[in-house]
Copies of this chain bind each other. A is one copy, B any other.
Amino acid sequence: MSAGTLKVGVLGATGYSGFELARLLLRHPRVDEPVFFGRGEDTAGEPRNLTDIFPALSGNGGYPLEPFSWNAIERHSVELLFLAAPHEVSRAVVPEAVSRGIRVVDLSGAWRLKKAEHAAIYALPDEDRAQVQELATNAVYGLPELHRSRIQGAALIANPGCYATAVILALAPLLQAGLVERERGIVADAKSGVSGAGKEPTPRTHFVSVADNLSAYGVFTHRHLGEILEQLALQTEEITFTPHLLPIPRGILATIYLHLKRPSQAAEIESCYREFYAGCRFVRVFRPPKLPEIQFSVNTNYCDLGFCLGPDGQRLVVISCEDNLLKGAAGQAIENMNLMNGWGEDEGLV
């Protein structure tokens, strides 16, 4: 290992977020030969390479895919472990990793929720509730724009959900400034590319089901809602969140509707955003009337924010866009790693 570099492992490198994580880590200047651990079936039988699954990654090597074990973790002296696996895997693996002093950035939802009633959806049947509660309490919600300093010292990062990132970044500045009339209700109408639904082939992800189509799903029940409520300190009835499945591979656009407490000028709103995100490397605030589009942020780690104020000066429509696999998952995970290690926030990301 070269001086100044970090030894990282990735558990679950074979999904869509895992692919992006691998791609980013392989070109990260401070990371030395990441170790890739496959999930179950991917490592069965003969040893396989990550490039067998993702031919796009080939060209410099094969990147062997190892079965996960604590022995392997030790043998490779892994210092920081990324998890891009189902939350059940995280709930089973993370307690041991943390107790061994390995820092963790977990892309699953396992540790994002502080309130037990929200977090219950991620529970394992037989898990140690006290231990889990302690981990969840100590885990830092890895949204640098909100929790930068706590991320720097964290042992366990709960990397935010893709929808949650887009919605929280759009609303946090306005809510913190006390501009929003919460009683009238906020609407977050979000649309995501199919990679957000995971790599599992299902009737819903079949090309013919998605192409030339648009559908709403998880209305009032999507699991990212809990993160939005907790991070923004909103009550359930104060926000309605509806995700939709777009016929595109990646990218999220959330259209957010709210009422301001008093008639305002566009310049005030823009200032509110610019001040809140001053010094934030990966939020781009658009000047009206320019609005973000999915294309502008795809393949980047930016969350783009723009807005349109109604003729009455009180109805506000905010548009928030990001790449669900980058700022919404793997890119933000790298950003968290960078902050945890005191490196530049954008190392390996631009």
Contact = CB atoms under 8 A, between A and B. Distances in A.
A54 to B, nearest CB: 8
Nearest to A315: B240
Interface residues of A, number: 74
Contacts of A211: 194, 207, 211, 247-249
B212 A58 contact: no
Contacts of A205: 201, 206-208
A253 interface: yes
A344 interface: no
Interface stretch (A64-72, A147-155, A182-190, A334-342): A182-190
Interface string A162-192: 0000000000000000000000110101010
A200 to B, nearest CB: 8
Contacts of A193: 212
A296 B55 contact: yes
A214 interface: yes
User: Copy number of this protein in the oligomer?
Assistant: 4
A255 B194 contact: no
A210 interface: yes
Given A184-B185, A206-B206, A293-B213, A58 B201 contact: no
Interface stretch (A78-86, A89-97, A132-140, A215-223): A215-223
Contacts of A282: 59
Contacts of A59: 282, 284, 300, 302, 350
A203 B246 CA distance: 19
In the A-B complex, the 4 residue pairs with the closest CB atoms: A201-B201, A215-B293, A219-B308, A189-B189
Nearest to A54: B296
A297 B189 CA distance: 21
Given A212-B249, A242-B255, A246-B247, 5 more contacts: A56-B295, A185-B257, A219-B308, A220-B310, A236-B312
